[in-house]
Structure 1
Amino acid sequence: MHWKPDRSSHLTIHTQIIEWIKSRIDRGDWLIGTKLPTQRHLAELLGVNRSTINNVMEELKAAGLIESKIGSGTYVSNNSWNVLLSKSQPNWQQHIEMSIHKANYHTIQLINDYEQKEDIIRLGTGELSPDLLPSKKIEESLKEIQLDGRAIGYSEPQGSKKLRRILSDYLNKRGIQANIDNILIVSGALQTLQLVSLGLLEENSIIFQEAPSYLNSIHTFQSAGMNMIAVHRNAELKSTLRNIKKKKQSLFYCSPTLQNPSGGNWSMEERQNFYDTCKELKIPIIEDDVYHELLFEQSLRPTLKSIDDSGLVLYLGSVSKTLSPGLRIGWVVGPEAVIKRLADIKMQTDYGSSAISQEIVSYFLSSGMYETHLSDLREKLKERAEFTERILAENFSDIATWKKPKGGFYIWLRFNKAIVNKQLFLNLIKRNILINPGYIYDSTDYHHIRLSYAYASFEELETGLAILKEETEKYFC
């Protein structure tokens, strides 16, 4: 041991010795459980008074770095490395708590965690079963796609021009007139909401929505300082919007086709009246239409975008619910100036969506494989929905109600009592059942479960619903 305190240093002898002992522990020279030299010996080695060493030891004990054992001596504490780690690192917890983006609800964090467990039965997930994804066809498509260096480099700000041309033709079939300058390729429809919150709205803007709403299960707008307000589409809609809007910026988020989580569909009259109201009040609309291709009965019910004659509607589409969520490809259609603004922000955040994913989606849409896949997928989802409904009719008709699903993934199951609380959610997790409770879509809703028939196998649906019945009927005894 050659070190001695520097008496010419601006640091006190006391401080220098403390930092020296800390460094010995931090470097592993003195491991956990190491017995330290006696105070007398340390004083002699360091050339200081024993009282100085005594004060040093008391401070290190108070900090949790060392501990005394009666009749044995002084040792490096079991907690010493944790103490040193917390002292040497910045206070990340404070950074986390003071950050702009809000944390997910604890229930949603648990859902995200437990969805990764293989033994869990997922009764609420918004994702297709791996068995329903066209994995083989996607693999085959890679053999047909020709990729040159330019094609797999960074695409232009609005996304692959090839894909945008194909989407323009595809959207035209739904009555949506959009040239390539009106289309932005995004990494899933959710990214559009993030881009809108950053690029089109000022702080304290109002986001109107229906309740229950998928928006409440994420914090995209809330973290940007927006005010979320649920309204009802009734005869008082116009006066309600006018009174709340006042002088603040606002927009209305909606899903007229297969709304998430309720699965509801607006009539043609409801769509037109809603559009006319927002047009009169100059309230922009975000139309989330990611489920429309999964309607069991393919109607000609128009999108809001198809009746938009004033550039009021931003239209969201995606292949995440139909082809593959892992491709991370969606699109937004809107006025050219808005699209360019969102594209600029997207380039600042991720520099463009995957070039290879865009090529795969282009191939599926242009080859006709996509529509063939959709036709097959709708039939399989319809079979799953009917299977789930039979189980509900046999086991839940005395304690819950629901509407026959018209497509998509979900049945909005309503229990006759307000039993869908955090405790039920946790009780089901203990039995390896994962649900999406209604309160994550509407904080006041303790009646509903978003029941998905799209992910779990037929056997898992049967097993999972049997356990759900066992746990829920306890509340009705």
Structure 2
Amino acid sequence: MSWQPDRLLHLSLAAQIKDWMIRQIQSGEWPAGTKLPPQRKLALSLGVNRSTLQEAVDELKADGLLSSRTGSATFVANDSWHLLVKQRLPNWQQYIEASIHKSNDQTIQLINEFEQDASVIRLGTGELSPSLLPVNEIQASLGSLPLDGKTLGYSSPQGSETLRQAICDYVKKRGITTTPENICVVSGGLQALQLIALGLLQPGSLVLQHEYSYLNSVRPFQSFGMNLHGLSADQYTAEHIRKVRGRRQAILYTIPTLHNPTGECMTWEDKNALYQLCAAERLPVIEDDVYFELSFEPAAPAMKSLDRSGQVIYIGSVSKTLSPGLRIGWVIASAPVIQRISDIKMQMDYGSSALSQLVVEHWLRTGLYENHVRRLRAELQSRAELMEILLKQYFESKASWESPQGGFYIWLRFHEPVITKELFMRLLKKKVLIHPGYIYGAQDAHHLRLSFAYGSEKELRKGMEMLYREI
């Protein structure tokens, strides 16, 4: 044996001996079952004290690579090679558990998984049916777009200036007057929330919201250390907000028009009152307005239309109307906010798809978008009427609901607490996917978010019948 530990290295002699023994096992020089030389002889050949050798041997025994038998002889353990292979692999579960983003609730993970299964009836999906998307019209419009090398390259992190100007013109019907400098194009409303969380809020901040909220089913704030706090209808008061806020940084998240998941719509008076409350309390507001175009009756102007001080951060999107796959939305806010989230967006993805932005600009400027939305509203209203017929047929004595004012959803409340994980799993086994209330409000066992926007008439009829049989 010619190898000996190097006394000039920073590693201890015992650590060097341990590494050398591991190499002997890995290389096959010491296969499983090999009997090591007596410790006195081995220590002498390595040029170390027996106690130094014993330290290395004891560590390898603790790792399961060496074992002792009767008479104090030491052997290479039978499963030593497999243990070494395992030790060489990164402990990915440890990495995962220590990461910033926490895992979704298991129900949400299952929803995300089974929404990809075409054989599943989706009774709660927050997405338009493929049959409602203007596939042929979008394909036809691609031929008239002025494509060039720049179009196929990276976009500005803030977004195409011509699209931002088109958005300025479009949001005037919401009562919003803005400029391209006050707009950032984002990859959908969810990215807008992530950018706000990353760029504007500190860990420990408080995000106030409706007691039942879409935010509870995604993690744009929670994963970055912010705390969510749900407000019931009677808690939107200065006194309650001051009490729960304390000295913490806080922001209010609201979907005033066609709220997700409840479908509620604030009146103009309600929006004005909420804005004045937040202004008095110096509480910034995120107004998520991605559903307003789907209101069956003209929607009240946006809360952002009241804003003269930059207090409201406004989010719009075409994901709920034109195409979720285009991944185009926008944020309208004060210049410092836009500059900040544009910088964060550049660090994340170098800007939204330039091609998608060109498509959306074309649809906004030519009137294609408004014509499509008009037809879409009519189709959704017809589907909503069908869903109400089915609800009256199956659940009139068991549950209550409000007739939808637009959008995708009916927030169904059962008189008894029947919406459980067990029910979710039973239906899933029968290929029916529901969105239970407990993913929007902790411990809720009374509600379902029903969607009439995705399933076909046949699927809605079959799905509602199976829901009735399982409850």
Taking structure 2 as the reference length, the TM-score comes to 0.86
Q: What is the match of residue 282 of structure 1?
A: 282
> After superposition, where does 1:308-457 map in structure 2 within 5 Å?
308-457=307-456
Q: What is the match of residue 162 of structure 2?
A: 162
Aligned AA for 1:172?
A: K
Q: What is the match of residue 19 of structure 1?
A: 23
CA distance in 1, matches of 2:175, 2:469: 48
2:207 pairs with 1:203: no
Aligned AA for 2:255?
A: S
- Structure 2 residues not aligned, in runs of 5+: 7-12, 44-52, 68-75
> CA 1:85/1:144 → structure 2, altered by over 3 Å: closer, same or farther?
farther
Q: What is the match of residue 268 of structure 1?
A: 268
SS in 1 for 2:128: coil
Contact 1:231 1:237 in 2 (8 A): no
Aligned AA for 2:446?
A: H
2:241 pairs with 1:241: yes
> CA 1:404/1:23 → structure 2, altered by over 3 Å: closer, same or farther?
farther
Q: What is the match of residue 470 of structure 1?
A: 469
Contact 1:5 1:13 in 2 (8 A): no
Q: How many residues align?
A: 445
> CA 1:15/1:149 → structure 2, altered by over 3 Å: closer, same or farther?
closer
Taking only aligned residues, the RMSD between alpha carbons, in angstroms, comes to 3.0
Q: What is the match of residue 46 of structure 2?
A: none
> CA 1:422/1:37 → structure 2, altered by over 3 Å: closer, same or farther?
closer
CA distance in 2, matches of 1:127, 1:65: 58
**1:85 positional shift:** 3.9
Aligned AA for 2:199?
A: G
**1:370 positional shift:** 0.6
SS in 2 for 1:234: helix
CA distance in 1, matches of 2:132, 2:27: 58
CA distance in 1, matches of 2:66, 2:401: 61
CA distance in 2, matches of 1:398, 1:419: 14
CA distance in 2, matches of 1:240, 1:111: 35
SS in 2 for 1:169: helix
**1:118 positional shift:** 2.1
Q: What is the match of residue 190 of structure 1?
A: 190
- Structure 1 residues not aligned, in runs of 5+: 31-35, 67-73, 473-477
Q: What is the match of residue 69 of structure 1?
A: none
> CA 1:246/1:235 → structure 2, altered by over 3 Å: closer, same or farther?
closer
> CA 1:118/1:15 → structure 2, altered by over 3 Å: closer, same or farther?
same
Q: What is the match of residue 128 of structure 1?
A: 128
Q: What is the match of residue 301 of structure 1?
A: 300
**1:406 positional shift:** 0.9
CA distance in 2, matches of 1:13, 1:201: 51
Aligned AA for 2:279?
A: K
| Deviation string, structure 1 residues 241-297 (Cα, Å, up to 9, x no partner) | 123333221111001100000000011111111111111111111000000111122
Q: What is the match of residue 142 of structure 1?
A: 142
Taking structure 1 as the reference length, the TM-score comes to 0.85
**1:234 positional shift:** 3.4
> After superposition, where does 1:7-156 map in structure 2 within 5 Å?
16=20, 18-24=22-28, 63=64, 81=82, 83-156=83-156
**1:455 positional shift:** 1.1
Identity of aligned residues (%): 47
CA distance in 1, matches of 2:2, 2:417: 69
**1:449 positional shift:** 0.6
| Deviation string, structure 1 residues 403-458 (Cα, Å, up to 9, x no partner) | 11111111111111111111111111111111111001100311001011111111
> CA 1:15/1:328 → structure 2, altered by over 3 Å: closer, same or farther?
closer
CA distance in 2, matches of 1:187, 1:158: 11
| Deviation string, structure 1 residues 300-320 (Cα, Å, up to 9, x no partner) | 511101122222111100011
Contact 1:122 1:433 in 2 (8 A): yes
